[in-house]
Amino acid sequence: MNEKKELAVAALRNGTVIDHIPSESLFKAVEMLGIANLDKSVTIGFNLASRRLGRKGIIKIADVELSPETVSRIAILAPTAVINTIRDYRVVEKRPVALPEEIVDQIVCNNPKCVTRNQPIPTRFNVVDRGPVRVRCHYCGHEAVGDQIVIK
Amino acid sequence: MANNSIVSINDLSKEEILKLLHTASLFEANPNRHILDGKVVATLFFEPSTRTRLSFETAANRLGARVIGFSDPAATSTAKGETLKDTIKMVSNYADLIVMRHYLEGAALYATEVTDVPVINAGDGAHQHPSQTMLDLYSILKTQGRLDDLTLTMVGDLKYGRTVHSLLMALSHFRVRFNFVACKELQMPREFIDFCGKNGIEYHESREFSPEIINSSDIIYMTRVQRERFTDLMEYERVKDLYNLNNAMLADSRPNLRILHPLPRVGEIAEDVDDNPKAYYFQQAKNGLYARQAMICRALGIEVTD
């Protein structure tokens, strides 16, 4: 694995490395994570060579560990991502993100006439395909695929 | 859904559909029955639809139920900003069954999640309208004597017309051949074509409403081509009359052919078709009463056996 080489680029003492993000999803992930407003040190890699994806993105955030909710949002954007948790320069956990069968209250339905867009209702989406990610609104049946998916 | 709510035709199995159709035939033979004495049916029309509301209310009345509700949300708390959830919860205190129409897609399914009272979807935006599909199926069964081995031709707006999509899904339980007749802008969406392909359903797409297609059909299901569906108005002007039906076009059609239309029609069926015995659209609307009586009984868990 090239994991050691990557971590050596900007070794983290504590924090999180989000690896194997498809390049086209990288900046969406950056935005979704609210990195622009973070006061931690962050390294963003774009269009890095990847055997699996061709080109990939990587985000390293010091002193932050991600909540399960954030991890599942990353899964929607970047289902191939792997989350590495770093403590004292060591990878203590290496976990591929997991896209659940149903995603509750994390996606906005693209159908302006959907009941969830007009009433105070948590959205519910079923994952109907995983590569690329395709989701279907539980209520109105509207589908969104890949970068059409809008995260709350 | 824990109860017998009917939100989408896709929730019903072939057996359930056949049972509902059988029950509808019992109601046609004898529509006035006091089997819902003491029951209260609420008809909540968050969007006006006189035809559907009168049909449901007649169905409930002929079964002996009392009907409460509204036909225009402007006169209710909805206009004051009450949420759908609160309206449904409030009505659930009073009614044994909710029949609702809403302009928002998914509203009926959401309603089933906030109440234990069964809900019948009487149309949610452009999404689902299962009682229309049930009356279409009943009309086909009644005029053809079967739902298998039929050729059904859908004409006009196959892109936005929810009735043709729901009918296609419901008929996928049976052996039906389809002709999809529409212009390029309004052709059957790819997902339904793919669905036919995956499920071995025979279909033929055509731009032309040709004599060959008409003369090989058992059912012609006409729909309205609406001007507002077109991005290119030149295209609308070019195609608007291509999918109109007149009596002369039926000269060599099959004796068992029947013409269906969800109504209202505008120009797509000429008035000279009305007197042809093959015109069935007015009886089709009447069949809605029996189909809705059957749906109301099923939603309330009442078996009708004779």
Q: Is the dihedral of CA B296, B9, B207, B142 positive or negative?
A: negative
User: B165: Cβ–Cβ under 8 A, 6 or more apart, which residues?
Assistant: B189, B192
The interface predicted TM-score of the complex, written ipTM, equals: 0.88
Note the pLDDT of residue A68: 87
What are the chain B neighbours of A141 within 8 Å (beta carbons)?
105-106, 127
Residue B104 has its nearest CB partner, among A113, A120, A138, at A113
Residue B125 has its nearest CB partner, among A113, A121, A138, at A113
Enumerate helices (H) and strands (E) in chain B, giving the number of each: 10, 9
Amino acid code (one letter) for B266: V
pLDDT, tens digit, for every residue of B173-228?
Answer: 999 999 999 998 899 999 899 999 999 999 999 999 999 999 999 999 999 988 87
Helix (H, G, I), strand (E, B) or coil at B186: helix
- With an 8 Å Cβ cutoff, are A120 and B105 in contact? no
* Same structural domain, B67 and B193: no
Q: What percent of chain A has pLDDT over 90?
A: 74
Q: What percent of chain B has pLDDT over 90?
A: 82
Classify residue B26 by burial, with Cβ atoms within 10 Å: 0-12, 13-18, 19+: middle
Note the pLDDT of residue A8: 44
Note the pLDDT of residue B4: 93
Question: Nearest chain B Cα to A138, which residue?
Answer: B106
- With an 8 Å Cβ cutoff, are A121 and B102 in contact? no
Asked whether the beta carbons of A142 and A110 are under 8 A apart, the reply is yes
- With an 8 Å Cβ cutoff, are B85 and A119 in contact? yes
What are the chain B neighbours of A110 within 8 Å (beta carbons)?
none
Q: What is the pTM of this model?
A: 0.88
Residue B3 lies in a domain: no
- With an 8 Å Cβ cutoff, are A115 and B110 in contact? yes
- With an 8 Å Cβ cutoff, are A113 and B110 in contact? no
Q: Which residues constitute the domain of residue B85? A: 31-128
Mean pLDDT throughout B21-38? 96
Mean pLDDT throughout B151-167? 93
Side-chain half-sphere CA neighbours of B119 within 13 A = 29
Question: Exposure pattern of B275-304 as b/e (b: 16+ CB <10 Å)?
Answer: eeebbbbeebbebbbbbbbbbbbbbbeeeb
Give the domain-ending residue among B109, B128, B147. Answer: B128
Q: B209: domain CATH number?
A: 3.40.50.1370
* Same structural domain, B137 and B281: yes
What mean pLDDT, rounded, does chain B reach? 94
Note the pLDDT of residue A10: 63
pLDDT, tens digit, for every residue of A24-81?
Answer: 999 999 999 999 999 999 999 999 998 888 999 999 999 999 998 899 899 998 999 9
Q: Please determine, for residue B2, whether its predicted confidence score (pLDDT) is greater than 60.
A: no
Q: What domains does chain A contain, in order, with CATH numbers? A: 3-96 (3.30.70.140), 102-151 (2.30.30.20)
CA–CA distance, A56 with A25 (Å, rounded to integer): 9
What mean pLDDT, rounded, does chain A reach? 90
Q: Degrees (nearest 5) of the Cα angle B44, B49, B54?
A: 75
Confidence category of residue B74, pLDDT binned at 50, 70, 90: confident
- With an 8 Å Cβ cutoff, are B106 and A118 in contact? no
